[in-house]
Each structure stands twice: as structure tokens, then as C-alpha cells.
Structure 1
Amino acid sequence: MSQLVRQILLFYEWLSMLYNGNEKEVICITLNEMSAQLFQRITSSNQAVTISALAEALHSTPRQIRYKLDKIDEFLKYNKFPQFLRKPNVGITYTAPPQVVERIMQKLLERENHHYIASQEERVEMILAVLLQQQNYMTIDDLGERLKTSRSTVIKDLNKVREVLKSNHLTLLSSTNHGIKIIGEEKYLRRASIELLMKSIEVQGMLSQEMSPMLKNIKTLSQSEISNMFTNMNIPFIESCVIEAEKQLETTFSDEAFYGLVIHIAIAIKRIKLGRDIVMPYNELKSYETTKEFAAASYVASRLEAEFQIEVPYDEIGYITIHLLGSNVYAANSSSSEEWAALQIITGKILEEVSESLQQESLIQDEHLFSGLLEHLRPAIYRLKNDLKLKNPVLEEIKVRYHHLFQIVKNSMASVEGYIGKSFDDEEIGYFTLHFGAALEKLKDKKEMEKRILVVCSTGLGTARLLSSRLQQLFQVNIVDVIAYRQIGQILKYQEVDLIITTLPIKCDAVPWVQVNPMLLDKDVENLKKYLTQYHFQPKNIFIQTLRLIEEHCDIKNYDALVTGLAKILKTDNVGQKGVVQPLLRELLTADMIEVKVKAKSWEEVIYAGGKLLEDRGLIEHRYVDAMVNTVKKMGAYIVIAKGIAMPHARPEDGAKKVGMALMTLKNPVNFGSKENDPVSVAVFLCAVDNTTHLKALAELMQLLDDEEFKTMADTASSKDEILAYINSKEVDRR
């Protein structure tokens, strides 16, 4: 069983013991060795100790240290001892005679004599945890006895409980003769349980990869006869199912997403055994059946049924599918989605708006940024559609470090939110901001890289890329790979690495490692100076300057080979992928690829007419035309991307032979089934062979389609020449 999942499940055991009346034992765990270590470090210091220093020394976070200090202060106050003295911008001190300090240390390490008074927030969480596990009503008196508090206090706390439940689409039902219980849809009951668990785990600091003394104590207590919700749960087996899903999807989930899926499945199994199934709309379920994620979910379900002797309902398979679609990944092939062209258009619009706001035109040509945004956008849209919450552990730091950029990115998401009809929350915006932050860091010039660095990050691709860019900006390093924690052993078998830089504690004896904040704070930089040589910058735009100099004074036989060679020598990625030529819009939309005033009675006729243009020029096989029609039938009229404009397309593997575009104007507008954008009078057909070759032309096309004058001109144009002249005039303007 993985250590992280074991820690989460052990915490569930702790909750189960607490809610079954063993409050005294659990409280003493909260205030034992960890608290003693904190107290000892503060009392043994001759000067004030900062929270950041304590966090670094104990491999914790400032938030967790503050939480522990507050608990120790409550303990000291209850036992009539002096409390900590905290001075802003100075640190924490403690003044008391040596014999008093010794007595406090002894009490902190005792297991039997602690008395603890829970705050209202903690009591509310206890009430929620108790009621979320109840199938039947529970009286207020029973709840007060469970929490060791008065009836009046419970009644007061229930007002806050109702507020929390309301925010989670749940209701606290009261019955005079029976008591109280939580009611609501099963998906919201599960979500509330998981959010409560994850919040408690974060506060307790239990997501660390190191097994803390507190967890060891919990493990011994868990051997009591008190039942817990994960008895006989084969977690390693569930992990193997998720790993198999990764293989089938040809992807690697981030550590956080991987363990989130494991916990979701474990809870689903328990709920199924209790007869509490998820219910999903039939049409929504049907829409997922053709996805590869649904196939992977079905495979996982079949293995779970055999292992746990249960029947996984159809709706549960759909729910697992949603979580697979909504999970952050380290690698994915976005062209496998039927909506790949729409996603690329939206990604391009986001890039364009952010670039314009920052006055950084080079971002539009950054293929790494484009692919990173595209990889994040697809699962982000599924999360938004299905109300799946994404946790961003570095959100506040992102808002501080990238305050201006965060606001720009947030304002630039209108194209996505208009496409979905919902708005992203700050957690999601933070991850998009990380992608742009990483790209901006790369714009700063680099020098030759020396040390071979392996970057380990558990939160996702955007965070990892930001960290890698910061490292490359500041030090002479060669980032050999960016991986999840689970991949370390596999990578080290074939890759030589000088140093591992990680955002979480790891166990690795083969290679030295350094833990840093994902934002690479100043203290992290100072620490890394012990291992790495600082960076000395090259002149700005050295690649472009060198290329222009060669163009001016030399005859070039192979331009693409020159670009690729220079990029390799100068260690830069400011060029197209491996020198691949990306055609311009005017090179694709030539006279033979344009038809005006085409007659068509239905949207199918429009697609077949446009497909014939592509097929006659040898750009596609005939099956690509059928695939365009079937895509609309399966996915709906999402291809109508703007008022009166449709972009039919299919996946590259459906028969695309070369990159190409075709444009048709219709004599009479045709309805495609889009309530917002019908009827269609202009259709642009796209075929692509990979994820990148068509991007430059697509970016130019997006600018053209955003131009209201173009739509007006196209609707009234009587010849191809009018359309070509307009496109060429815009090309001149862009120059």
C-alpha cells in the first residue's frame, strides 16, 4: 500500500475512533511528540524563532506550524502555564523557569492526562463527520454525548453545520420524534465527505511522505475492536487498477490526482456496499460511452467487482469516467478528443488575449505553452462541466507572486467560459497562471546548462514547468525530466541524475535531493547555491540575432536544418518544434480551396461538399468526411464556433493525410443545431496530421473569424478573389 494512501486511511480510522467516543486517546495523539518537538526547539533557543524556520526544521509548512502552536497555547492556557510570546517580524519566544519547562515537556508527552477543548470549527467538523456516516436519524442528546459537550452547544453549532451543508447542496433534516440527519444527492454527500477528510488531513500535516510519530500512534490505536469504514479494503489492488487505467489512456496522472482517484474508488466501494449508488442523467452517461476513459472505467469496474464481490452500477462507471476525464496529467494526447479543434481554437484565443495584455507577442509562438495549456484545458473543462472541485495548494502564493498575471489570465478566460456556460474558480485560474508564469520565465535568456536535474512534483504539470523554468533561469542546469513521485525508481534505472529537486519529501539514497517550495522562494535559492552554479545571462535574443546575421551574409541551402542546429547549439527553444515548417493561412486557403455561394439543404450536405474539396486535393481519405459527420451526430453542434460560422473537422487518425483548410460560403444559411450561433453561412474545414503543424495557420484563422468585417464580406462575396484579397490584406497588416 502506498504511504500517502495509508496515511489517509489511518486518518479515517482516527475519525472513526473519535466519533465512537474515544476522544481522550485521540486528543493526546494531537498533542504528543510533534508538539514536544516544537516546544523544545522554541524553549532551547536563545533568541526568537520564526515560523518559517520551524517549518523548515520539522519538514512541515507554516500553516501546519501555526496550527500546532495554537493547540499548544490552548493546552498551556488550560493547564495555567504561561503562553508563547509572538512578535510580528521577530519570532516566537517562551519565558518560564527550567523546572516549569520540564513539567510542560512531561505533560506534552503523556498519553493519559490531556484534556482538550475543541473550538467551534472543530466541533462543526466533528458533527459533519458523524452525520455523514449515519444512515438513520441521530438525536441531539446522542450527538452531545459523542462530542462530550452540552445540548445547548450542539444546537448552536448546528446553525453553522446548516450553512456548511447548504454550500455543499445538502440539507440538515430535523424530525421531532427522530432527530437529525443529512439528506441530498449521493454525489454531494460523497464530495462533502472527501472535502472534510482532505481539509482535516491538510491541517494535521498528514500529506507528508514521512510517517510522523502521530501516525504511528494512530496505527497502534487502530488495532482496537472499533470498526472503521475501510476494514478489509484492498488498497494496493485499487492502486493497480488506476495504474492500469493510466496505461490504457497512455497518460500519467499527477500524484495528487492518482491518490485522489484511489480514495474516490475506495469510498465508492464502501457506499455501494451500503446500497448508496450514484445516479447520473442517462443522456450524459450515453455521451461518455464512446470515450476511451469510459472504456478504462469499465475495465476498472470489472476488476473491482471480482475483487470485492460487488456489482458496480452503470452510473458508477460513468462517475469514475468523469473523474478520469477531470484528473491532472503529466502527459496526454489532446488530439484524441473529438473536440480537439475547438479546444485548440479556445487555447489560441486565451494565448492571444494574455499576450496582448502583457505585450508579449512571443507567447503566441510558444509551442510548449500552447501544448501545456491544451493539456490542462481538456480535463479542466470536464471538471467545470461536472462541478468537480480542484485543489490548488499554492493558490495564495500564486496570487502574491503573480498578482498582475493572475488577473490578466482570469480576464482572458471568457472564451472558455462562454463555450461552457460556466466560470472557472480561482483554483483553476491559478493553474493556468502557472503555465503562463513558466513561459514568461523562459523568455529570460539562458546559458549552457550543466548539472543534470530531475524535478519531482506531486501537484501537476503547470507547477512542475514553472519550477523547471525558474531553475533554468537561475542556475546552470539540465532538466532531464519532470516526473511524479511514483516514477523516481523507474527513471533512475536508465537516466543519470546529479540532483533531485522535489516539492515534497522523498526517500532516495541513490541521488542527493533537495526539497523546495513550488514557487522557488528566496530561501530555496540560497539552499540550492550549495549544489548548483548560478546562472550568468547571455545577451538577449542571441538566437534571433545569430539567425538574422547568417541570413544577411550567407546563402542558406537548408533553412530548417539551420534553425534546428542553432537551437541545439544555443540551448534554446524559441523556434518551431524540431524545425517543422508551419504553413501560413494564405498558404492553405488558396483559390482552389475556396467555394462561394454553395447550395446546400442540410448541415450534412455542407460537410460532404467541404469534404469533397479536401478529398479532391489529396488532403484526406474519404472516411475523414464520414468522421466529420459522425462527430457532429455524437458531440452536437459545438463545431459552430461563432455566429454564423462552423468549423467541421475530425481527428487526425480518422483519415487526414496532410494539413489543410477549405472555406465555403453558403447561398442560403443552414441550421446545424446550435441555439446560440445558427444559422451558418460560412464553413471552414480543417484537417491536421499532428498537434502542431497547423497551429500558425489556425492562429491566423482565429484572428480572421473574430473580425466582424470578414463575416460581412464573406456573406456578400460573389467570387473567390474577394475573399483571397481580404485574407492577403490582413496578412500585410500583421506584418
Structure 2
Amino acid sequence: MTFLDERSRKVLIHIVDNPAATGKELEQLLSLSRKQLSYTLDKVNDYLIGNGYTKIERQKTGKFTIPATVIEEFKTDQFTFEEASYIYSDKERLDLIVLILLCHQDELSTYDFTIELGISKNTFLSDLKKLHTYIHTNYGVSVLYSRKDGYNLIGSEYAKRELLIASIRKVLNMPNGSDVIKKICKIDVAELDEIHNDISEIEKKLQIQFTDERLKELPYILCLVIRRVHSGQLLDTIPEAFQHIIGTKEYSVTASLSNKYQIENQLERMFISAQIQISNIHYLKADEYKMEKKLMKAANEMITNFEDISCIQIKEREQLLEAVLQHCKPAFYRMKYNYHIENSILDMVLPQHSYLHEMVRKSSKPFAQLVGHEIVDDELVYLTVLFGAWLRKEGVLDIVEEKKRAVVVCTNGISVSNFLYVTLTELFPEIDFLTCLSIRGFQDFKEDYELVFSTVRLESEKTQFLVTPFLNEYSKQSFREKVLQEIEGVNLHRIQISSIVNIVEESATIHDKDQLIKDLKQYLSKEPNTKKEESILQRKREGILLSDLLNEKTIQISDKETDWKDAIRIASKPLLENKDIEERYVDKMITSICEEQPFIMIAEGVIIAHAGIDDGVNNVSMGILRMPSKISIHGYMNADIIVVLGTPDRTEHLTALYKFIEVTESNEKMRAIRQAKKVDEIVQVIRK
């Protein structure tokens, strides 16, 4: 609304508050000419489209077709549907026609549809033609007309049920959708309330809570399914996967509902049970049932896989696990029973999050194994949205999304190929290198990627960079600049340093302009001009050695008991004295353990305390405090070896960390560390 002028805002509000109003009535009410109203409506539609809404259409009758989402977003308290009628869109009318066809008791003629929907005969016949094509293609159902029986749907009862449920869901999303279904299907409020009470009993017995959306649609689904059963419209066949419902907790609990409504047919009982199993829920006691345990294991492994693939540790893992589990249970049954997902959001998500989607696909293998086949995209995309929302909440979505995907093609032997792959991976941390391939392997490679780094020119439409297997430091830097210029449009040599300085000068005071220009040139060129910078680059290339970090100065032995917080502070002391970390980094480590309780035990009795790369760390550093015996770490871990780790980026510390983990995996070395009397004995163990 911020970007609309006053007249446009008034037109939009009056249209959504009075859906039955005509253009002429609006002209009179707002004192506008026909041309002014037309111009203003164009501005309103530009605003709606620009903010992700569907535009308002003007009909030949002078009335307006207003998208339900627009009414929902912009209507005011002055508006009620009892006071004005809503003009249905073409797509909405198709779902209403389905409901009329499936819920009618008597013979249906063209007149019945035109009266119910307030449309002309020609409009109805046009809608019917579109509907026939859609339902025949997607459900195998056809519309048949005869003078004797009027209009009817022809097809299997199971297909009709699928169509019925899909239409119920879409109509409920229309403005005043509940009342529309009650009116068309002639559902009594008391009848609906009774079924709602039955659903509440099912929730209690299964110890679950349906989502608001599912609780909104389930009473209508069960009500109309029960009606079809009572009218003799029975299932004669259902997918084979439904046979597994018998014997489940849901089948047992919904038996009382079937008995209450005198449903004896076993296929119908299974169908009703399936409606409960595929329902999205807010809460479930996951450790109570066998299937939930399997889903819990799969969800847990899925998150672990995602962390490994993305190189990001999820902070609030338990909460994410619960959210993934709540999605996976109904998704499992939807795929098992081959239920359609209406209104797929795939096209909305993939253009912006295709990379994240592929990462989630790779991570979801445990869930796919449980289902018995690969997760279909229409289901997988909801997991993509879930992981994306979580990463956004934790502030790391951009880290995942920004990377382009690349493959390396090398005609040399495996050793040279691997060396080139590692070199490129280190040189371009902003690119996700998927794999190293031979030319034959490249021709057969099916995964999505955007870039190719190859030692020979290839026939490919992808962006391609020729590279030699062995790059010296100068050629590395020039090659990096060339690639970044190509994929990001950045030419570091063409950046005018003076222009940058002038921009800075407009908003800040520059104390030493010459030094600033010098520093910017050095930063943008990435060329080290001091021995210290060259040493840092060399260390990054070789990887930081564990012995560089753990030595006589950073290893301590304590012969007296102490509180865990003090233990972390003692282990941090050498790092603080060397200015590798700051006091706030120590405070953050302690706060993290108190508030988030991360599981930081890498081996029995060994914890690694750390904070984030932006929490006050200057250099890669590590300190150890060996205690005389195990102490409680905030009541959820016990450790006698306290390790403090600091790192200013996500990769520089990995070589040393892997070496330390190798030490902890040796029972002999850990025994020697625990029995050591002097610090230099521990140093010798680590250097072996």
C-alpha cells in the first residue's frame, strides 16, 4: 500500500470491500471519469503484480474478478460476504463445478449450473470443456451428459475421491470458502460439528495434533466421503499400498469412527484411515510407534547429510529435527498411497533455490530408502523450503545459495586430476566443485552444474575455463581474476581506487588518504608485499600443522578440580595472552554451552569449545587443559580434557583439527595424554 497514491488506494479498497460493485458505481462513488478509473486500475494492477499478486480483471458486465489472495490481504473490517457477492475466476469455477457434480442428489441440467454459479450458458459450456480436459488428463475422469440422467462424472470411485478432495482444498482457500461448500453440498452445521468432535477424539487417541489447515479441510472430506458410502458409491479398488494400513494404530483408532457411521466395507475403512495418516500434524510422540522411530532415524540422518554437504552446522538441530519429522510422516504416506499434491510450489521455489534443492535431494537419501523410491520434486520442494527457512533464520542461507556449481575435467592421471581438483577448490571457495571427471565421464555426467574447468577444450554449452594442472602463485591470482570477471562481472584491474576513495570521503573523514589508497590497491590486487603476508599464504596452502597450535605454551595440566566455566577460561588463557582470541570469544563459548547445549564431545571425555568466526577470534588457535578427573559440563557432558578452538574462517583450521581427531581415535595416545606428568610429554604424543 505504501507505493500507491491516494486515489489508487481508495479504488483498491473499494473493489475488495465491495466485490459486487460495477465500474460505473465506483465512478459515481469516487467522482471519477471512466478514463480516470481505467488509468487508476492499471496502476493498482501494476502494484499488485509487482508485489506478487494476481491482477484484478474487469468483466464485460462491468463487475470485477478479484483474486482471493487480494481480498484476503487488502479487505477492511467494513467488508462482509453477506453484504456482497464474490465473482469467481475461471479456475475457481472449475472446482465449484466438480463439487456440484460430485455432491448432487438429483439430475443436473445446464440451468442448474448457471443459476448456482451466476454465469451464462455459454460460459458454463466453455468451463465444462476446460474441466473435461483437465480431469481426464490428471484423474482419468470424464464428464458425461445424457438427456435422461443429465450431467455426471464417469470414472473409478477412487479417482473421483481424489478429485473431490483436491476441489475441497481449493474451494476452502476462496473467500468464504467454508460457506460455499456448505451451500453447494448442502452440509448442515450440526453434521459438520459432529465430525469435528470425532476428529478431536482421534487426535486424543493417537496423541497428535493436526495443523490448522488440515483441521479445516478434514471434516468436509470425511463428511462427503461418508455420504458417498451411504449413497452406495463405494470403492471397488484402491492402490496396493493401502493394504499396509491394516494393523496400524491409525486403522485401529479410526475403526470406531467407521463403526459409528456404519461403514463395514474394508476398502472404505482403509481409505478413511489413510486420510488420518497423510495429515500434516503439529505434534507427535515420535518414540511411541515403530514407523515414527524409523522416520526419526531417517530425518536425523537427513540433517546430518545436509550438514556434511553444506559444510554448515545447524545450531538449533533438535527444533529442525522436529520440524523435518512433522513433514516427513504425512509425506511418507502421501507418496506411499500416490496422493496428488495440488498447487505445487515447485515453480515458485526452483528458480531461486535450485542449488539448495539439489543439496536437499542428496541429503534425503535415508528418507527415500524408507519410502522405497526417490523423493518426487513436488514433495522434496517442501523440505527445501523448510531447510531454506532454517538457514535464513540462522543467517547462513546466502552462504549456501550463492555458490555456483562446477566440474573439473582432467585428461591426466588420477593423482594429477586430484591435485588440480584440490587446487581449484582452495582457489575458488565461492564455487562448489562437484567432482573431477575424465572426458568420457564428463560426457555421461547428468547432475546440474554451471561451470566447467578443463585441461582441454570441450564441446559444451556451459561456461568453460581452460586450466593447466599446475598453477604457480602468480598464475593462480591472474586465473582467479579472469574467472571472477567472467562469472560475476568483476574486473579488479578496472576498479578506480580514486573513485572509491571519493565516495568514502563523502560519508566519512579520511585521516590518511595516501595510506588508504595504498591499502585498497593492495587488498584488491591480492598480491602479498610483505614477508608476513607471504608466510600466511604459504601456511594456508600447506595447512596449519597441529604442532603449530598445540605446544608447551598452549597445553596445560591441572592437578586440582575446578568448575567447567573456569576450566574453559584457564584453557583460553594462553590464547588470550597471545591475542589470538578476545575476552568476548570466551564469554560466547560459555554462553553457547549454557543456552544452546551443543554436543561438542569429539571423543570420550574430550570436548572442543568454540564460538563463531565473528565472535572475537583473530588467528587460528588451540589450547588444551587436562584435568585430574572428569567434570560435569553444564550437566549434560562429562570431560577431563578441555580443548578451546578459535578460527577466523571456516576452513583454515581443518587440517590441524583432523590431525587432533586422529589423536583422539588412538586409545594408546589418549592413555598417554591422561597419564602424562609434564606438558612436554603431551607435546611429544601430539607430534608423533
Q: Give TM class, smaller chain.
A: 0.3 to 0.5
Q: With structure 2 as the length reference, what TM-score do the two structures score?
A: 0.46
Which is higher, the Rg of structure 1 or of structure 2? 2
TM-score by length of structure 1 reads 0.43
